[in-house]
Amino acid sequence: MKLGPKYKICKRLGASVFEKCQTQKFQLAEARNPRQTRGRRGSSDYGAQLLEKQKARFTYGLSESQFSRYVNEAIEARGVNSMQGLMNRLESRLDNTIYRAGFVKTRRAARQVVSHGHITFNGKRMNVPSFRVGIGDTIAIRTESRQSPLFGNRAEEAAQSKTPQWMELNEGGWGVTVKAQPQVSETEAPFNAATIIQFYSR
């Protein structure tokens, strides 16, 4: 997915959409230059819904078509809360899973790591960032890739990292097993999933 200047996007959507903007330097710059609004789009219900959708898209690094598919699948699923269904689909992506596991610092880096073949899924090499993981699946950094500078401090980081409750570390921190459906509270998400569902349900 092609992106424009990240700082400009962060100024429009909020610092939470990119890890690059989640710094004290960026926050101080924002505090020195307060804006009354984030543009015309935020002045109406439609604009507010569109803003939340864009926040979610950029947070997970998805194209419009990818994101729309996840939302529509969540809305059409029977017996499942649409908001939770959407979050589950976003969080269950393979690239997001290794980001949450702490293998890399950003979701963008996670996509690159997967695409370059550094990750195994249930023991087999996997290079599809959007692949959906499920309960019982094991994701790990390939044995051949563990000496790469990409993972140079992994052993130390694994000892200090705090993984989500829905996964557990194994292989000395080089792998994780998904033990439950991904859970993300409304306060953790940098966007309002309910507003996004409303946008697509119009």
Residue ranges of the alpha helices (H) in the chain?
6-13, 24-32, 45-60, 64-76, 82-91, 94-101, 107-115, 154-160, 193-200
pTM: 0.78
Q: Using CA atoms, how far apart are residues 26 and 13, in angstroms rounded to an integer?
A: 13
Q: With bands split at pLDDT 50, 70 and 90, how would you rate the model's confidence at 63?
A: very high
Q: What domains does the chain contain, in order, with CATH numbers? A: 6-89 (no CATH), 93-178 (3.10.290.10)
> Cβ(104)–Cβ(163) under 8 Å?
no
* Measured CA angle at 4 (ends 3, 5), to 5 deg: 125
pLDDT (mean) for 71-85: 91
Tell me, what's the pLDDT at 75?
94
Q: With bands split at pLDDT 50, 70 and 90, how would you rate the model's confidence at 42?
A: very low
Tell me, what's the pLDDT at 7?
53
DSSP three-state, residue 201: coil
Tell me, what's the pLDDT at 40?
43
Spatial CA neighbour of 102 closest among 172, 161, 186: 161
Tell me, what's the pLDDT at 79?
83
Residue 143 has pLDDT above 50, yes or no: yes
CA distances to 19, 39, 108, 195, 199 from 192, in Å: 18, 18, 22, 5, 11
Token reading at 173: 């921190």
* Of 32 and 106, the one with more pLDDT: 106
Q: With bands split at pLDDT 50, 70 and 90, how would you rate the model's confidence at 38?
A: very low
- Residue 97, φ and ψ in degrees, nearest 5: -60, -45
Tell me, what's the pLDDT at 9?
60
